[in-house]
Copies of this chain bind each other. A is one copy, B any other.
Amino acid sequence: MKKLLLCTLLTSALAAPALADRLATEPVQPIEPAVITEPEKVELGKKLFFDPRLSRSGFISCNSCHNLSMGGSDNLPTSIGHNWQEGPINSPTVLNSSLSVAQFWDGRAATLQEQAAGPIANPVEMASSHVLVVDVLRSIPQYREEFAVIYGSEDITLERVTDAIAAFEETLVTPNSRFDQWLKGDDDALTEQELAGYQTFKQTGCTACHNGPALGGASFQRMGIIKPYETTNPSEGRIAVTGEDVDRFSFKVPTLRNVELTYPYFHDGAYWRLEDAVDLMAQLQLGRELPPEDIANMTAFLKTLTGDQPDFTIPQLPPSTNDTPQPVPFETPADSGS
């Protein structure tokens, strides 16, 4: 017992300098596990996140495009919305989105709660309305009971719906990646190639934007600083929010956490290979033509950013009742516009 204790103390003492050092000096910090203070609200938010009755068709849920079995993304260039309409921009991952300075590629929502209201009523996404969604949920006694327990009354409002969804999304952090283990002092967590890739990542200048715990999400940057980004996607980025010409083609820097899982890349989802994304970013943003070895190393490093994925039981949704407004999966001339 004494021997074991001594051993533990020695190990801690040896690990301590690396730990303190890296946490203080590296431009990336570890992801911390979620601290859940309102478990009932998180459970309710999970149900709502998976509930396709938030869409007009009864087919599309938040999880359709932010699939928690697939890195919180849909792995498509742009999303499939109501009536198979093509979305305007790549669905960003919901994982670690609580760490972002704002939501959406152009940052038009200040909070996760504000974001959650958007797709519900967007005619090319879930195509419902805030009135209809609240009517649907109010018709379901089990939902009314859960809202009553959490919010003190049975009244279901859009504000409460999006508050619960946001509370669930705040739990969707991905700690314990191999890179975070290394940051916390475990020298064996990374291979030599991965460490070399991380050094190149810093030396090339990537951490100017991809820094902090999420390696991104903290600022808006022009897509194509040195050379313009060629795309057929019409999005002009943050100018839509600020109206400032300087913000044209400025987008929120995406997180690199779990980047191995969140292909295809960029706001137009035009690049499927992580190597190609690394190569292009170095050219367009930093004016650097990287040798293949550096690209391979950086790609290897980026794959160490995959953390613990969501680990919970699939929710069971309370059934609709005879009073629940029915979904409209297929539009007829009489339906549309209603």
Chain A residues near B (Cβ < 8 Å): 50-52, 57-59, 64, 67-71, 74-77, 80, 83-84, 86, 260-261, 263, 272-273, 275, 309-317, 319-320, 322, 326-327, 329-330
Q: Which of B309, B317, B320, B330 contacts A316 (CB 8 A)?
A: B309
Distance in Å from the Cβ of A218 to the closest Cβ of chain B? 25
B residues less than 8 Å from A309 (CB atoms): 316
Distance from A18 Cβ to chain B, minimum over Cβ atoms (Å): 30
Residue of B nearest to A76 (CB): B329
> Once bound together, how far apart are the Cα atoms of A70 and B316, in whole Å?
7
The answer on a CB contact under 8 Å between A76 and B58 is yes
Can you name 25 A-B residue pairings with CB atoms under 8 Å? A50-B69, A51-B69, A57-B76, A58-B75, A59-B74, A69-B317, A70-B317, A70-B319, A75-B327, A76-B327, A80-B329, A80-B330, A83-B84, A84-B330, A86-B330, A260-B319, A263-B319, A272-B322, A272-B326, A275-B322, A310-B314, A311-B313, A311-B314, A313-B313, A313-B314
A86 closest partner in B (C-beta): B330
- Min CB gap A16→B, angstroms: 33
Q: How far, in whole Å, are A70 and B50 apart by their CA atoms in the complex? A: 10
Name the one of B260, B312, B316, B322 contacting A69, with C-beta atoms under 8 angstroms.
B316
Q: Which residues of B contact A57 (CB under 8 A)?
A: 76, 80
- Nearest-CB distance from A92 to chain B (Å)? 17
- The CA-CA distance from A147 to B239 in the complex, in Å, is 49
The minimal Cβ–Cβ distance linking A87 to chain B, given in whole angstroms, is 10
CB contacts (< 8 Å) of A51 on chain B: these are 69
Residue of B nearest to A84 (CB): B84
- Assuming A51-B69, A59-B80, A312-B314, what are 13 further A-B pairs, CB within 8 angstroms? A50-B69, A69-B314, A69-B316, A70-B319, A71-B319, A75-B327, A76-B329, A77-B329, A86-B329, A263-B319, A309-B316, A311-B313, A311-B314
When the two chains form their complex, are residues B50 and A76 in contact, meaning their CB atoms are under 8 A apart? no
A160 to B203, CA, bound (A): 47
Q: Closest CB-CB distance, A253 to chain B, in whole Å?
A: 22
Q: Are A320 and B69 in contact (CB under 8 A)?
A: no
Q: Complex: how many Å from CA A135 to CA B44?
A: 39
